[in-house]
Amino acid sequence: MTTLPPAPLLLSLESAQVRFGAQQALQPLDLQIHRGERIALVGANGSGKTTLLRLLHGLIVPAGGRRELHRLPADERLPRAAMLFQRPFLLHLSVWRNLMLALWLGRVPRDERRARALDALARVGLQSCADRPARALSGGQQQRLALARAWALQPDILFLDEPTASLDPSARREVEALIAEFAQAGLTLVMSTHNLGQVKRLATRVLYLEGGRLVADRPTSRFFEAPPDDPLPPEAVQFLKGELPWNT
Ligand SMILES: Nc1ncnc2c1ncn2[C@@H]1O[C@H](COP(=O)(O)OP(=O)(O)OP(=O)(O)O)[C@@H](O)[C@H]1O
């Protein structure tokens, strides 16, 4: 029997914490993210999910402890990351120009940009919208454009902050399907969401936060159905009870 080598470590936090003025938004926490993981951050409003995503992405510098990106063993480069927000930030430009601008900002060589943009638009099914004003697209299409923009940058890790929260059910399904395809293609995902059905469908691992503390970190199946010898902390049990039913 062959044993698969462990997936490479991409990103880690060591006793990393975040403060906003006097407020401790994240208590010191340790975390390791390996290639291929699909991690869901769950917890009530204000529990620290967005703060943790921003810390992981490097948008916030920890007030203590450290965040480290780890070189990929295959080619010794640092992992690339991209982030998707609940409402995409799009400029008053065409879909195509929004994409090209992101590639320019991402320092993608000029001669690669066109092919990457075409591939990304095809990936999210927006080829026919290339010349339309990005801000005139529907909410679901805008989020698909944001996914195309992230895809075009060829990230290893994709951070998603409630990516479907402001979408109607059909757009939500479309965007969720694309996120699943991205994961299939090998992207590592870290996503905050209030939709526990989505957690069950997409995530391999769940981090439960409460009041800025990481209370539970376990495989998805052991989060929703904790075995008797490894029960969930009571805070997480209460949270799950309050969030029933899960399949929305
Ligand atoms: N820029 C900031 N300045 C001051 N306080 C902040 C800032 N960003 C977040 N906070 C505070 O940090 C805490 C965690 O907020 P965060 O947005 O990370 O929670 P969340 O779990 O993502 O919430 P939600 O589910 O509502 O998006 C909250 O008390 C919030 O008010």
* 31 phi, psi to nearest 5 deg: -155, 140
Judge whether residue 4 has pLDDT over 80: no
Q: How many CB atoms are closer than 10 A to CB 144?
A: 25
103 in Cβ contact with 82 (< 8 Å): no
What percent of the chain is modeled with pLDDT above 90? 91
Q: Which domains does the chain have, with CATH numbers?
A: 7-80+195-248 (3.40.50.300)
For residue 51, pLDDT over 80 is answered with: yes
Residue 248: pLDDT over 80: no
Which pLDDT value is given to residue 74? 85
Is the beta carbon of 45 within 6 A of some atom in ligand 1?
yes
**Residue 95 CB contacts under 8 Å (≥ 6 apart), including other chains:** 121, 126, 129, 130, 131, 132, 133, 134, 137, 145
Tens-digit pLDDT profile for residues 142-181? 999 999 999 999 999 999 999 999 899 999 999 999 999 9
Asked if residue 163 has its Cβ within 6 Å of ligand 1, the reply is no
CA distance 207 to 29: 12
Cβ-proximal residues to 61 (8 Å cutoff; 6+ apart), any chain: none
In the numeric block, the tokens 């109607």 are attached to 168
For residue 182, pLDDT over 90 is answered with: yes
Confirm if 101 and 129 have CB atoms less than 8 A apart. no
Calculate the CA 85 to chain-centre distance: 9
Residue whose tokens read 């209030």: 194
**Given pLDDT bands bounded at 50, 70 and 90, which one contains residue 6?**
confident
pLDDT (tens digit, 9 = 90+) per residue, 15-35?
Answer: 999 999 999 999 999 999 999
For residues 47-74, average pLDDT: 96
Using the atom order of ligand 1, give the atom closest to the CA of residue 47: 21
- Ligand 1 atom 3, closest CA: 20
What confidence score (pLDDT) does residue 243 get? 72
pLDDT band for 217, please (50, 70, 90 cuts).
very high
Evaluate whether ipTM surpasses 0.90: yes
Q: Is 25 in the pocket of ligand 1 (CB under 6 A)?
A: yes
Tell me what the pLDDT averaged over the chain comes to. 94
Average pLDDT over residues 101-113: 95
Q: Is the CB of 20 under 6 A from ligand 1?
A: yes
- DSSP type of residue 94: B
pLDDT tens track for 80-98: 999 999 888 999 999 999 9
